[in-house]
């Protein structure tokens, strides 16, 4: 018996066909989104303001149409032996749609309306709305705010929905439902609109069986009072649940049997936990890619500064699921490589038969800890945890005329490790123990220097995911539960989950130096991040004014 997991990332979607008997990955296929991330302009050429990040829902459908037939052809597996399909998605990435599921951007007349498209997780243009959500919640003494570390993010669902209402009331009134892209693609597969409890809890303010009150929403905007009844309708569905059988039309397009189980949607980071056997309390999984998400289950409810949320059953049923994260990690390294590395390193990498990332890693690994004399702040895409502030920006300090590209590359890696240590210490300071670490995703898979730096900076050993496609594997595992092949996700994780035998351990002499560097990082973190010096925000205002955007 087989299931398919489809992992929708920031730039591409990947399908993996998995043998449910042991978690073996039989075949995989990737489809790059033709529209990628629309952060500059719409397909029509219409320019977008700063901090926008949109996607095109047609790209998601094309992932299904291209990858699933491809994995079936590669594998040679009989389609009748495929019993279910599960998906995971970036979050919060919501979109406006009509009652029949048609995206608003597909409706004639709305192709040129920015608010008609998917607002990707890293869309930060709703910061003013997030500020209002937080300010009104504090004024009213809303207890749910503590579940989100004391601050709701511009990256999340209601910040983006309120932005539409305030900036384009016509667009707001034109659509029938605002829905996470994760739930929308499940709707397209099954014909049934559901809302997964994971995204609802972490991004949509759904806690302990209810949303905030109508009075609260009205205090944000009079026309927001009935937002739940008018824009956020739909039944909630548990993780591992069956959202419905695949429709005849979709089955024909994908070459799969109609009626196979379509699992309730999940978040890419959260679905990774069972894929790496992290189903017990205190095991923090670092899903490291363009950004990093830190997820962990606990048996007690705690309040942690700057966490993205804590939800009962949000990751594993019966446990409180915690989420924190860093808004930029791999994106930071990519920015540096794409924009700031001199030609000599490009030439040297080419001569060595290596890509530029690998070459810089090799050169940076030759250094002793602290040799470059640099410290950086990892805020090039804002700070998600623990400050929850997208208006912060990057910092590099200590550079001289002797500073070279490998020095900066290493300092940037170290800065992201410092950010992870800050998150771990925040959890533990608030009574939520972090007992184990597991690293998953492309970065730890490819970069040995990064793995060692994270061990040295955090002072902890950690394990590595056994699959390079952990989110897709986790989705396939949830599909196996939805199809009734396993009783629950614990049972599926026992059989299908994977960890490598390798354990990454800290080097004591490196730890001592990194403790000193982390102390400097903390000083900068508090000085620039907690209001002592808001120069980063002032610079953004000057930039926007110069561009005529403010």
Q: 331: pLDDT confidence band, cut at 50, 70 and 90?
A: very high
The C-alpha atoms of residue 395 and residue 397 are separated, in whole angstroms, by: 7
Average pLDDT over the chain, rounded to an integer: 96
Alpha-carbon Rg of the chain, whole angstroms?
A: 23
Residues of the chain with CATH 3.30.420.40: 2-267, 283-465+507-550
Q: Is the pLDDT of residue 27 over 90?
A: yes
Residue ranges of alpha helices (H) inside 235-342 are 248-254, 272-275, 330-339
Residue 494 exposure: Cα atoms within 13 Å on the Cβ side:
7
What sign does the dihedral 363-369-370-374 (CA atoms) show?
Answer: positive
Q: What is the largest CA-CA distance in the chain?
A: 65
Q: 52: pLDDT confidence band, cut at 50, 70 and 90?
A: very high
Q: Give percent of the chain above pLDDT 90.
A: 94
Q: 327: pLDDT confidence band, cut at 50, 70 and 90?
A: very high
Tell me the mean pLDDT in the region 90-96: 96
Tell me which residue has tokens 């004591």. Answer: 508
The C-alpha atoms of residue 296 and residue 304 are separated, in whole angstroms, by: 13
pLDDT of residue 340: 97
Q: At CB < 8 A and 24+ separation, what contacts does 210-217 make?
A: 212/137, 212/142, 212/144, 216/136, 216/137, 216/140, 216/142
Give the CA angle between residues 152, 154, 157 to the nearest 5°.
Answer: 80
| Distances, alpha carbon 64 to alpha carbons 53, 60, 290, 485, in Å | 22, 7, 22, 23
Q: How far is CA 260 from the centre of its chain?
A: 28
Burial of 534 (0-12, 13-18, 19+ CB in 10 A): middle
Residue ranges of alpha helices (H) inside 103-196 are 127-140, 157-167, 169-174, 181-190
Beta bridge partners of 286: 294, 439
What are the residues whose beta carbons fall under 8 Å from the beta carbon of 17, sequence distance 6 or more? 2, 3, 4, 25, 26, 27, 28, 71, 72, 75, 77, 82, 476
pLDDT of residue 303: 87
Residue ranges of alpha helices (H) inside 44-85 are 57-75
Tell me which residue has tokens 């409890």. Answer: 197
Tell me the mean pLDDT in the region 435-454: 95
What are the residues whose beta carbons fall under 8 Å from the beta carbon of 64, sequence distance 6 or more? 6, 13, 15, 185, 188, 189, 250, 253, 254
pLDDT of residue 318: 87
Q: Which two tokens stand for residue 177?
A: 């439902």
Spatial contact of 116 and 160, defined as CB atoms under 8 Å apart: no
Beta bridge partners of 89: 8, 267
| Distances, alpha carbon 298 to alpha carbons 217, 278, 420, 423, 431, in Å | 31, 11, 18, 15, 10
Q: Is the pLDDT of residue 429 over 80?
A: yes
Helix (H) / strand (E) element for 343: namely: helix 343-351
Q: What is the pLDDT of residues 221-255, one digit of tens each?
A: 999 999 999 999 988 999 999 999 999 999 999 99
Which of 3.30.420.40, 3.40.50.620, 3.20.20.70, 3.40.50.150 is the CATH number of 283-465+507-550? 3.30.420.40
Q: 442: pLDDT confidence band, cut at 50, 70 and 90?
A: confident
Spatial contact of 148 and 206, defined as CB atoms under 8 Å apart: no
Classify domain 2-267 by CATH architecture.
2-Layer Sandwich (3.30)
Q: 548: pLDDT confidence band, cut at 50, 70 and 90?
A: confident
Tell me the mean pLDDT in the region 191-208: 95
Which candidate, 329, 330, 360, places its Cα nearest to that of 342?
360
pLDDT of residue 317: 84
Tell me the mean pLDDT in the region 344-368: 98
pLDDT of residue 550: 62
The C-alpha atoms of residue 128 and residue 159 are separated, in whole angstroms, by: 8
The C-alpha atoms of residue 142 and residue 211 are separated, in whole angstroms, by: 11
pLDDT of residue 385: 94
């Amino acid at each position: 018996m087989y299931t398919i997991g489809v992992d929708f990332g920031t730039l591409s979607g990947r399908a993996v066909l998995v043998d449910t008997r042991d978690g073996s990955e039989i075949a995989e296929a990737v489809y790059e989104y033709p529209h990628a991330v629309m952060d500059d302009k719409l397909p029509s050429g219409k320019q977008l303001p700063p901090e926008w990040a949109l996607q095109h829902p047609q790209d998601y459908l094309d992932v299904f149409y291209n990858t699933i037939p491809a994995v079936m052809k590669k594998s040679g597996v009989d389609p009748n032996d495929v019993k279910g399909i599960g998906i995971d998605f970036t979050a919060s990435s919501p979109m406006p749609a009509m009652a029949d599921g048609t995206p608003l951007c597909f409706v004639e007349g709305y192709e040129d309306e920015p608010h008609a498209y998917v607002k990707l997780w890293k869309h930060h243009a709703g910061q003013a709305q997030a500020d209002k959500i937080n300010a009104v919640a504090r004024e009213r003494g809303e207890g749910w705010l503590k579940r989100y570390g004391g601050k709701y993010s511009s990256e999340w669902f209601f910040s983006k929905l309120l932005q539409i209402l305030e900036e384009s009331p016509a667009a707001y009134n034109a659509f029938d439902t605002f829905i996470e892209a994760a739930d929308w693609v499940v709707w397209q597969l099954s014909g049934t609109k559901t809302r997964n409890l994971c995204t609802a809890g972490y991004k949509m303010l759904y806690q302990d069986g209810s949303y905030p009150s109508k009075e609260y929403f009205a205090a944000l905007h009079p026309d927001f009072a009935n937002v739940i009844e008018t824009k956020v309708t739909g039944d909630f569905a548990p993780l591992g649940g069956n959202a419905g059988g695949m429709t005849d039309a979709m089955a024909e397009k994908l070459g799969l049997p109609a009626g196979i189980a379509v699992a309730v949607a999940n978040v890419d980071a959260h679905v990774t936990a069972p894929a790496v056997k992290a189903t017990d309390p205190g095991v923090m999984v670092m899903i490291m890619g363009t950004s990093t998400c830190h997820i962990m289950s606990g048996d007690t409810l705690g309040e942690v500064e700057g966490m993205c949320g804590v939800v009962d059953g949000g990751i594993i049923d019966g446990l409180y699921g915690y989420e924190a994260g860093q808004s930029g990690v791999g994106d930071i390294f990519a920015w540096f490589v794409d924009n700031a590395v001199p030609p000599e390193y490009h030439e040297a990498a080419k001569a060595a038969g290596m890509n530029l990332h690998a070459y810089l890693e090799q050169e940076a690994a030759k250094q002793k800890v602290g040799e470059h004399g640099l410290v950086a702040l990892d805020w090039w895409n804002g700070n998600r945890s623990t400050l929850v502030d997208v208006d912060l920006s990057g910092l590099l300090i200590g550079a001289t005329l002797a500073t070279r590209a490998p020095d900066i590359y290493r300092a940037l890696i170290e800065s992201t490790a410092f950010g992870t240590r800050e998150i771990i210490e925040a959890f533990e300071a608030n009574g939520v123990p972090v007992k184990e670490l597991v690293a998953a995703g492309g970065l730890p898979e490819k970069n040995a220097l990064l793995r060692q730096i994270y061990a040295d900076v955090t002072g902890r050993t950690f394990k590595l995911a056994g699959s390079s496609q952990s989110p897709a594997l986790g989705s396939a595992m949830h599909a196996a539960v939805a199809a009734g092949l396993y009783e629950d996700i614990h049972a599926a994780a026992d059989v299908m989950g994977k960890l490598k035998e390798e354990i990454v351990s800290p080097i004591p002499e490196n730890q001592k130096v990194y403790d000193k560097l982390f102390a400097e990082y903390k000083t900068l973190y508090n000085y620039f991040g907690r209001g002592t010096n808001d120069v980063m925000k002032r610079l953004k205002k000057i930039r926007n004014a110069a561009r005529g955007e403010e």
